[in-house]
Amino acid sequence: MFSRIDHVGIACRDLDATAEFYRRTYGFEVAHEEVNEQQGVREAMLRVNGTDDGHATCLQLLEPTRPDSPVAKFLDSRGEGVHHIAFGTGDVAAAAAAVGHTGVRVLDAEPRQGTSGSRIVFLHPKDCGGVLTELVEAAVSAVPGG
Ligand code: CMX
Ligand code: CO
């Protein structure tokens, strides 16, 4: 049901400075940038491996856009660092339902919009060994032939 790590989310205070750190230290370039107002983030995707078809593995750098957002609250309480891990799946609604049946709290009753038109749901970190976990279905348009 889950075939890959889609991305690792990293909370930061300064997106541009953090992207520059990853560029100069590892050579990872920003493949995509967007603002997701629903999630309260300005974000940059840095492709670590794979191709730009919605199935790559990325780092997702996250800067908050408002003080009451999940990433802003995380920065206040824990500071900068790894915020979540995201697993890729072909059907996020079915995957969330299956995980929900195991007793893990699914935070989104319906999938929300993620990066580049993907569909996402979050799982409660307290039910996942302290790891905030995201499930991601890539947008159809990002899949070759889709
Ligand atoms: N990883 C692990 N634990 C986390 C966490 C994280 N990222 N964020 C919060 N927690 C823990 C806290 O440490 C706290 O634990 P204690 O009770 O032991 O102190 C507990 O969860 C509750 O934390 P809180 O600060 O009161 O935060 P909330 O309950 O208000 O929110 C959460 C926590 C996970 C429900 C909320 O952040 C959420 O809904 N996240 C999903 C959406 C999101 O993160 N969007 C940004 C990314 C968007 C994207 O990837 O595209
Ligand atoms: Co994410």
Q: Spell out the long-range contacts of 22-31 with Cβ–Cβ below 8 A and sequence spacing 24 or more.
A: 22/46, 22/59, 22/61, 28/59, 31/56, 31/58
Verify whether ligand 1 is closer than 6 Å to residue 122 (CB atom).
yes
Euclidean distance between CA atoms 121 and 114, whole angstroms: 9
> What's phi and psi for 92, nearest 5 deg?
-70, -35
Residue closest via CA to ligand 1's atom 18 equals 126
Verify whether ligand 1 is closer than 6 Å to residue 130 (CB atom).
yes
CA 102 – ligand 2 centroid, Å:
22
CA 9 – ligand 2 centroid, Å:
5
CA 130 – ligand 1 centroid, Å:
9
55 is catalytic: no
> What's phi and psi for 51, nearest 5 deg?
-110, 170
- Summarize pLDDT for 114-142 with one digit per residue, the tens: 999 999 999 999 999 999 999 999 998 66
Report whether 40 contacts 67 (CB < 8 A). Answer: no
SS3 content of the chain, % helix, strand, coil (to 5): 25, 40, 35
Centroid of chain to Cα 62: 9
- Summarize pLDDT for 99-113 with one digit per residue, the tens: 999 999 999 999 999
Report whether 8 contacts 59 (CB < 8 A). Answer: yes
pTM for this model (two decimals): 0.96
> What's phi and psi for 73, nearest 5 deg?
-65, -40
Interface ipTM > 0.85: yes
